[in-house]
Structure 1
Amino acid sequence: MRQGVPFNFTKSQIEVVMYLYHHQDQVVYQRELSDVLGITRPTANGLIKRLVQKDAVKLIEDPDDSRLKRIKLMPLVIADIDSRTAAFAKEFNQMEGKMTKGFTQKQRDELDQLLVRAIKNLEEK
């Protein structure tokens, strides 16, 4: 088991890990990943194989159908993501404090509204 060692993932592996992280409350099957991530099934299988080798995920045989494999993130990966998320939130809050130094609450609220609107504009197709 990897203790204190940061995980070294490729961009594609990160996509799989983050999908699994955000769907921890659901059963995710290996065969679903190709559709969910828009990649071929052999590519998805290769990603999972390498993530298993890195002790990032484990495959669990489905109790109802032995042909199906459930994918679960390992607790160490979940803890790593949780700690990075907390660190990011702390840094973001510090940056936001610097950025809005001297602003009134009304000005902060207006800035928040403008940023939300700008993000929505970027998301439009």
Structure 2
Amino acid sequence: MQHESRKPILISSLKIIGNQASKVGDLHLKEIGLTHSQANLILFLAHHADRKIRQRDIEVALNLTNPTVSGLIKRLEQKQFIIRADDPEDSRARMILLTEKAKLLVDQIFEHIHQTETKLLEGFTEEEAELVSSLLRRIAENALKNF
């Protein structure tokens, strides 16, 4: 009965955190016409505005499947948050670009994320918050590397 001494709390804790953060995020983002996944894609594009981003770049960076990214792009295009443009250097490729409408929401999305993270880290010292962030980044890296 070795396994009883080490209860599997990591995965269940991460699931609770993810579910609650998504629930809160979806409520706020609904007000501006976005889902959590759509907001993540907008933030990714905003963060990489200095690069040519193609659909495959999004799939790799956000660890999403081709059909998932295709659906996100299609819905964001319909909402006029992104456009697809021909790559002037490669006529076969299409770049994914934010519209001005989406760029106006980036600060609001970042602010919401900051508020959510502040609530999650309530009662932690600055050093503890930095440690938690660092450890979670490492766990995420291990998950991407090993699974």
TM-score (norm 1): 0.66
| Per-residue Cα deviation, 1:19-55 (whole angstroms, up to 9, x for no partner) | 0111112211122111110010111111101100000
TM-score (norm 2): 0.56
- Return the letter of the residue paired with 2:36: K
Aligned to 1:107: none
Separation in 2 of the partners of 1:31 and 1:17? 15
Percentage of matched positions with identical amino acids: 31
Aligned to 1:119: 129
Aligned to 1:36: 61
Q: How does 1:23-102 map to 2 (within 5 A)?
A: 23-82=48-107, 84=108, 88=111
Q: Structure 1, unaligned stretches of length 5 or more?
A: 1-5, 93-113
Larger radius of gyration: 1
Separation in 1 of the partners of 2:39 and 2:106? 11
Separation in 2 of the partners of 1:22 and 1:10? 18
Report the Cα offset of residue 81 of structure 1.
2.3
Separation in 2 of the partners of 1:60 and 1:26? 13
Root-mean-square deviation (CA), in Å? 2.3
Aligned to 1:108: none
Q: 1:85 to 1:11 in 2, by over 3 A?
A: closer
Report the Cα offset of residue 66 of structure 1.
2.1
Separation in 2 of the partners of 1:85 and 1:33? 18
Q: Which runs of 4+ in 1 moved over 3 A?
A: none
Report the Cα offset of residue 79 of structure 1.
1.7
How many aligned residue pairs are there? Answer: 94
